[in-house]
Amino acid sequence: MFEHEGLSKEFEFVTKESEIKHIGNSIQNTSLKMQTIAFALIQGDQDTVGELTKECLEEGISANEILDNGLLNGMSIVGVKFRDNIIFVPEVLISARAMKAGMAHIEPILSESGIEPQGKVLMGTVKGDLHDIGKNLCIMMLRGAGFTVYDLGVDTSPEDFADGFEEYQPDVIGMSALLTTTMPNMGRTIQYFEDIGLRDDVRLMVGGAPVTQEFADEMGADAYGESAVDAVEKAKELIVLLKDLRD
């Protein structure tokens, strides 16, 4: 399938037709080096990812190419494996750590390049919830996909989200929760935005292990991100809708 045998085996975990096409096409014509970066990222091999990224940049390969053809291709397969319960959070965390090792070389170049971001996203874990792994994975994926992301951290009250909105003027606000006991605070935040008249100015997205589409709908959210990969797709869709609305 691909030049890199290990990556070809990893690709066997991608079983949805649309994803086979999308991810397969994205990997198909990439160099062996890009495929090696993607494979090392899936394995969570931070040293190899860091070293190869540096080497590629020194060879004159663009930061965007390494990001798209190496790191994000690897992360797409990680996202699929995570969603399909083939791997779990520890395995995602070591891949995320490997991605970070690559991004350490790429990020300074991308931010100097002045490329227009996909959009602005404000992220936070809701009030009473101090879990941040899911939120941090989303932030990493969103940044990798070209969004500017502002992180409010954990235990974020409705008022904090509103202050963050005033300060950063994001297109999308992403709320995360790990606990069933704190999930209702997503609804309270959405209601707070209604109460202070800001609800129509921003799209509100929710996600987290116990959150479901049904719950998101009941709370009045604009989108539900089932996983970090899905959150990126939903954020892109929301930005398009918002642009249409503004035009």
Say how far apart CA 240 and CA 171 lie, in whole Å.
10
Question: What is the nearest approach in angstroms of another protein to the Cβ of residue 156?
Answer: 12
Number of residues that bind another protein (CB under 8 A): 33
Question: What is the nearest approach in angstroms of another protein to the Cβ of residue 104?
Answer: 17
Q: Which of 115, 218, 240, 243 binds another protein (CB under 8 A)?
A: 218
Question: What is the nearest approach in angstroms of another protein to the Cβ of residue 140?
Answer: 12
Asked if 226 interacts with another protein (CB under 8 A), we say no
Indicate the residue among 119 and 208 with the shorter CB distance to another protein.
Answer: 208
Residue 184 and residue 156 in contact, taking contact as beta carbons nearer than 8 Å: no
Indicate the residue among 193 and 215 with the shorter CB distance to another protein.
Answer: 215
Tokens 């993607």 locate to 38
Asked if 213 interacts with another protein (CB under 8 A), we say no
What residues between 78 and 107 interact with another protein by CB under 8 A? 85, 87-91, 93-94, 97
- 240 burial via Cβ count (<10 Å: 0-12, 13-18, 19+): exposed
Indicate the residue among 66 and 216 with the shorter CB distance to another protein.
Answer: 216
Locate 91 and state its tokens.
């395995």
The span of 8-16, 131-139, 165-173, 220-228 binding another protein (CB under 8 A) equals 131-139
Say how far apart CA 231 and CA 233 lie, in whole Å.
5
Indicate the residue among 113 and 180 with the shorter CB distance to another protein.
Answer: 180
Question: What is the nearest approach in angstroms of another protein to the Cβ of residue 94?
Answer: 6
Strands 203-207 and 223-225: parallel
Distances in whole angstroms, Cα of residue 6 to Cα of each of 74, 88, 183: 12, 20, 40
> Contacts for 20-27 with beta carbons within 8 Å, 24 or more apart?
23/73, 23/76, 23/77, 23/80, 26/68, 26/69, 26/73, 26/76, 27/2, 27/69, 27/73
Tell me which residues touch another protein (CB under 8 A).
44, 85, 87-91, 93-94, 97, 127-133, 136, 154-155, 178-184, 209-210, 212, 214-215, 218
